[in-house]
């Protein structure tokens, strides 16, 4: 399938994860994404190291921008003065070009106005009201470009009593219920191992932008998208939310267990752990037989899922005792083809060395100008048996400033002047 967003111009005013993740996925689909960054430091996550990618041993200086019409070459930034490329930044910014721009300055504002005029989509994650104070709120940008799709990503949304509060993944996990249901039953609440609320919000933002592009194709009009971490997290509570809203059932921490299905959790083995799920009575019957206890599936306390949920304190220790007799590898082999879901608990190395990960080519290499060949996770979706290709690596800070400004019609003399003033 040809890249469906080829020719769509995205102006990326986001940083950290939720916004950059959304715009990266748009770039994966073929969009031309210009990431606007602070000229001195860039995206916050550029400084989030270690770990960072090893740097090439060759001098870390970009090739000079070719002169146009015989005019003097522009200033070339010294890449040796930059910190190493952080792994955190690299994972969420492939496919983009970096423009260093200080739009607090008057001439920087003018550059940004020109970018807005030419953009199809603008994505920002400032605290609500901040961009409006700078003259780049939705209404301001709509006057410059009525067809603009303007996506605002924030902690709590553009309205409401908490709208001006900054929102970070970890505090939203706490405030919007996720942390309450994560952790062991007798332990404190814990956060998820990745910034899952940021990632969920990024996914919601991407789908909202795609929907807005379809809408604009029908109406010719742009739209303001209000997407935030708080509501994205609440919408992702799924059955936990439904249990409360429909049945008034308050959730509790279950560890790896499931509140409505037993057995459905991680169990210890002789030398490690294994995840087992028996989502219905037939699957439980098969599990019981392979554990050498076929009688469990006909016992009144365990014969139905509802009875197993009611008697989980009795059943779970029995399963643990049976599994403790052999190492994980034994059970993985024994359960193969058993008719119920099970899996080892892999570490990250095991995940990327997994034969299915390798067979599905979930890791891609790109050439980075400072770090050489780096490995990145491939897009998760295939179309007609193939993934969207990406060849543009995550950008070095300000790598494409001159290129982008020339495309806006700025002469080299004017760009040099903006460089001298610290605007770009």
Within 8 A by CB and 6+ apart from 295, the residues are 288
Residues near 179 by Cβ (< 8 Å), separated by ≥ 6?
173, 189, 190, 191
83 burial level (CB within 10 Å; 0-12, 13-18, 19+):
middle
Nearest Cα neighbor of 115 from 315, 356, 408 is: 408
Nearest CA to 305 out of 259, 340, 249, 262 is that of 262
Q: How far does CA 170 lie from the centroid of its chain?
A: 14
CB 197 within 8 A of CB 229: yes
Q: What element of type H or E holds 402?
A: helix 401-407
- Sign of the Cα pseudo-torsion (90, 94, 100, 101, in order): negative
Based on the residue annotation, tell me whether 44 is a catalytic residue of this protein.
no
d(CA 4, CA 26): 10
State the catalytic residue, choosing from 43, 120, 198, 412.
198
Contact of 155 with 167, CB cutoff 8 Å: yes
- Whether the bond between 51 and the residue before it is cis, its omega within 30 degrees of 0, is yes
10 Å Cβ neighbour count for 124? Answer: 22
**In the sheet that 273-277 helps form, which strands lie side by side, from edge to edge?**
264-268, 273-277, 342-344
Helices first, then strands: H and E counts in the chain: 17, 13
Both tokens of 104, joined, read 């607090």
CB 305 within 8 A of CB 237: no
**Which candidate, 139, 145, 185, places its Cα nearest to that of 158?**
139
Give the number of other Cβ atoms within 10 Å of residue 419's Cβ. Answer: 19
Interatomic CA distance for residues 10 and 5, integer angstroms: 10
* Enzyme catalytic residues: 198
């Amino acid at each position: 399938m040809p890249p469906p967003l080829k020719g769509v111009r995205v102006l990326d005013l986001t940083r950290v994860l939720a916004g950059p993740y959304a715009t990266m996925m748009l770039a994966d689909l073929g969009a031309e994404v210009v990431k606007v960054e602070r000229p001195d430091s860039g995206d916050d996550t550029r400084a989030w190291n270690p770990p960072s990618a090893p740097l090439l041993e060759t001098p870390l200086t970009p090739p000079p921008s070719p002169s146009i019409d015989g005019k003097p070459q522009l200033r070339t930034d010294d890449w040796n003065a930059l910190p190493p490329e952080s792994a955190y930044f690299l994972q969420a910014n492939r496919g983009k070009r970096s423009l260093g721009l200080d739009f607090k300055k008057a001439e920087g504002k003018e550059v940004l106005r020109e970018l807005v005029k030419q953009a199809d989509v603008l994505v920002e994650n400032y605290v609500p009201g901040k961009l409006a104070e700078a003259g780049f709120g939705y209404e301001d940008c709509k006057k410059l470009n009525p067809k603009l799709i303007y996506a605002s990503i924030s902690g709590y949304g553009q309205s409401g009593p908490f709208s001006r509060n900054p929102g970070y993944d970890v505090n939203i996990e706490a405030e919007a219920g996720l942390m309450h249901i994560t952790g062991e039953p007798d332990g404190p609440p814990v956060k998820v191992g990745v910034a899952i609320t940021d990632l969920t919000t990024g996914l919601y933002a991407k789908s909202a932008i795609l929907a807005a592009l379809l809408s604009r194709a029908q109406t010719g009009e742009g739209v303001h998208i209000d997407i935030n971490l708080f509501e994205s997290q609440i919408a992702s509570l799924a059955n936990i939310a439904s249990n409360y809203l429909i049945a008034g059932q308050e959730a509790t921490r279950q560890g790896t267990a499931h509140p409505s299905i037993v057995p459905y959790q991680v169990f210890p083995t002789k030398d490690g752990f294994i995840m087992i799920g028996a989502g219905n009575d037939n699957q439980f019957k098969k599990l019981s037989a392979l554990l050498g206890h076929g009688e469990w599936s006909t016992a009144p306390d365990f014969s139905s899922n509802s009875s197993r949920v009611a008697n989980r304190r009795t059943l779970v220790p029995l399963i643990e005792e049976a599994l403790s007799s052999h190492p994980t590898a034994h059970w993985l082999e024994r359960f193969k083809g058993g008719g119920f879901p099970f899996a080892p608990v892999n570490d990250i190395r095991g995940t990327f060395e997994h034969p299915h990960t390798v067979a599905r080519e979930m890791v891609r290499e790109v050439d980075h100008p400072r770090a050489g060949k780096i490995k990145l996770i491939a897009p998760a979706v295939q179309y007609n048996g193939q993934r969207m290709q990406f060849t543009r690596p995550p950008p070095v800070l300000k790598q494409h400033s001159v290129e982008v400004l020339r495309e806006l019609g700025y002469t080299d003399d004017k760009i040099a002047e903006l460089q001298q003033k610290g605007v770009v």
